[in-house]
Amino acid sequence: MAKRVVLAYSGGLDTSVAVKWMGEEMGVEVICVACDVGQGGTDADGYWNMIRDRALSAGAVDAEVIDCREEYAADYCVPALKANALYEGRYPLVSSLSRPVIVKKLVEAARRHGASAVAHGCTGKGNDQVRFEVSTRALAPDLEVVAPVRMWGLTREQAIQYATRFDIPITQSKEKLYSIDDNLWGRAIECGEMEDPWAEPPDGVWEMTQVRATEPREVIIEFLAGTPIAVDGSQISPAGVIERLTDIVGAYGWGRIDMVENRRVGIKSRETYEAPGALALILAHQDLESITLERDVAHEKLRLEHRYAELIYDGLWFSPLRQALDAFFEETQRHVTGEVRLKLEPGVCRPIGRRSPKSLYDYGLATYEAADSFRHDDAEGFVRLWGLGVQTWAARQG
């Protein structure tokens, strides 16, 4: 077994216990790497200082925090946005998207610290174990992967008791057994009473989408070649766009998802998410594509979007198919430039306007008014030829 292990550290229950457990049970030195993908909140400096201190208190020989926010937004969230990636048509891949960048930083840290193994805090029933391990093997097949949570067999309550016994600081309690994962792209909440798919999620689990605004308003999102570059005329980085929209749209209580999804390991799992910024961006992006993509391109893209989302969900970000699909999606985005206007009301976010200098919408062809330039006489022959096969079938065999 490796003498030095780099652990992807979240500061949560499982990874905090894993630090101590690997030291006690496996006799290894543990180096914690915490990746800032936007989960720090308003007091980011204080949050990350707390995470670093918690890792050291749990027994890590070293702990570092890596700021990945801009890289995560530009190199992972934006490609997923260009693909309108929604797993099973609903989930914007909140957790799935952050795992590849975390693994990339984990492997880099393993090289810096001379470690021969990396570790994660994923369970044997979840999707994240697949994402961490497959991505690690794609980037560094020589590194061993350690999964202490799969090895120790502790229930969540037993893990809390273990942390208490070794004075490991945690936020979970026996009364509130939620597992929460958040980043720029959204927030995932599971466990506790929500493991019953009939039970309504308690209002207290929501943070990004607590209603704080009631007066209707509009927000304008600007895109350049499929990349969001501005909100209400203010140009900012992709990470800034996501953060601003999460705040603006979330204040109207919009962006919650409650679904039973099909995990890669073969079980159905009740999941709740809130992703107001991500969902608003996807909604706006889809709307802009409606006037900038040619019909066959739009239809083929729609077919491939599902496959792209599935690859991300299944931990195959670092795969040749994902790279090939990226090339297709990137080509489709060359003319996806323009603005979309969203209307916000409590519980509502909907597009009410879109415009583009590259728009394929032709008023003269679309209107029924005097400016109509469509050649109506051409339609008769087109329709006759289009239906000729069906007409022949009906006459002879129908």
Do β-strands 179-183 and 29-36 pair in parallel, antiparallel, or remain unpaired? Answer: unpaired
CA proximity to 336, closest of 282, 277, 278: 282
Pair 93, 85: CB distance under 8 Å: yes
Residue 128 annotated in active site: yes
Beta bridge partners of 91: 87
Burial class (CB in 10 A: 0-12, 13-18, 19+), 124: exposed
Q: Output phi, psi for 228, to 5 deg.
A: -70, 130
Residue 14 annotated in active site: yes
Tokens matching residue 122: 């994923």
What residues have CB less than 8 Å from 316, skipping those under 6 apart?
134, 322
Select which of 179, 269, 319, 359 is catalytic.
179
Distance CA 271, CA 150 (A): 21
Distance CA 217, CA 119 (A): 46
Residue 10 annotated in active site: no
Select which of 52, 54, 99, 244 is catalytic.
99
What residues have CB less than 8 Å from 92, skipping those under 6 apart?
80, 85, 86, 185, 186, 273, 275, 278, 279, 282
From residue 131, alpha-carbon distances to 95, 98, 135, 290, 311 in Å are 10, 10, 6, 33, 10
Select which of 14, 36, 182, 287 is catalytic.
14
From residue 254, alpha-carbon distances to 232, 243, 381 in Å are 19, 15, 48
Residue 373 annotated in active site: no
Buried b / exposed e over 380-394, threshold 16 CB at 10 Å, is eeeeeeeeeeeeeee
DSSP 202: P
Tokens matching residue 153: 């067999």
Select which of 10, 54, 96, 128 is catalytic.
128
What residues are annotated to the active site? Answer: 14, 99, 128, 179
